[in-house]
A = this chain, B = another copy of it.
């Protein structure tokens, strides 16, 4: 067992080369699996590396190669399920392609203006950037995306400025609304996400479009902030309206809150009121009752984000514009045919 007395910090190829009795270039070749190194030499070098605790300096490597093999993700928060699952999917797929992921959390602008150390995004050691938020919110946070760095955007309408990958929000909302109408409900109430969210806007728009094109009245919108708590507040308002028999919540968490409010008000789900969510959280089958909801394919999203970005990096021709990942409605127990009075 080698005694790693010597600090790894500062062990360079030159040190390894000296100990192994070869040139630094040969060490480099071994380190990169280059074929033209004879087995005996290779062994010697590997032994020397082991003994000295050598590890390649990726800064030097990146400098030489002109790339970091790292992608950056800019977002406000990981706290929403959508974001954390998207990030996970991106990280997994990027790893498969040999890229690491750097997380760049941006303090919300309202939050006493402290932006941390990332006022100068250009200094980040990344080859490309994935932005998970509305682009104009970046501007609001006083951040400018570095020019000439490939960018992909999620949850935004920046299709003209950058390639966009997104869940097909509109189609998901349409399916949810349609489903409730098909069950015979005269109309569908909506608990929307925050105004700043592009996804929330698209879901809202598709909901009202669907109602309108079916000649149904469009009830007043309840605004939430994605949290179950805000859904609860919206639910209290809806429970007070006896004409409300069907609710489409813009995400599962708010649907959870809505259901609690309805339950407390003595409205049975789905007997009196049907509820549909959006996201298909892992927990939603365990809600009371199990929630009918729109399934988002986060893994596919992550895959497409990475692929789109890598295609730009490699200067391959990419279809520009917006790339929509399909959704599908998952039927569970929170929806039922309208009980006609």
Query: Which residues of A are interface residues toward B (Cβ below 8 A)?
Result: 4, 7-9, 53, 55-63, 66, 68, 70, 77-79, 84-85, 87-88, 91-92, 95-105, 107, 114, 116-118, 122-125, 146-149, 227-229, 231-232, 253, 256-257, 259-260, 263, 282-283, 285-288
Contacts and interface: CB of A to CB of B under 8 A. Distances in A.
A260 B60 CA distance: 56
Which 10 A-B residue pairs are closest in the complex by CB-CB distance? A228-B286, A55-B122, A8-B148, A59-B62, A95-B116, A78-B88, A84-B84, A59-B63, A58-B125, A98-B117
Contacts of A61: 123
Contact of A229 (B9, B149, B285): B285
7 contacts: A9-B148, A63-B63, A77-B88, A96-B114, A100-B102, A100-B125, A103-B103
B84 A78 contact: yes
B84 A283 contact: no
Contacts of A228: 282-283, 285-286
A258 B96 CA distance: 37
A271 to B, nearest CB: 15
Contacts of A253: 282-283, 286
Number of copies: 2
A101 B73 CA distance: 10
A102 B70 contact: yes
Nearest to A147: B53
Contact of A63 (B60, B97, B117): B60
Contacts of A88: 77-79, 105
A63 B57 contact: yes
Contacts of A283: 227-228, 253, 256, 283
Nearest to A252: B283
A148 B53 contact: yes
A203 to B, nearest CB: 20
Nearest to A284: B228
Contacts of A124: 58, 100
Contact of A232 (B97, B146, B149, B286): B286
A286 B281 CA distance: 15
A101 B102 contact: yes
Contacts of A53: 147-148
Contacts of A91: 78, 103, 105
B4 A147 contact: yes
Nearest to A11: B148
Contacts of A100: 102-104, 118, 124-125
Contact of A146 (B8, B59, B148): B8
A141 to B, nearest CB: 13
Contacts of A4: 147-148
Given A87-B103, A117-B96, A78 B79 contact: no
Contact of A85 (B9, B78, B229): B78
A58 B123 contact: yes
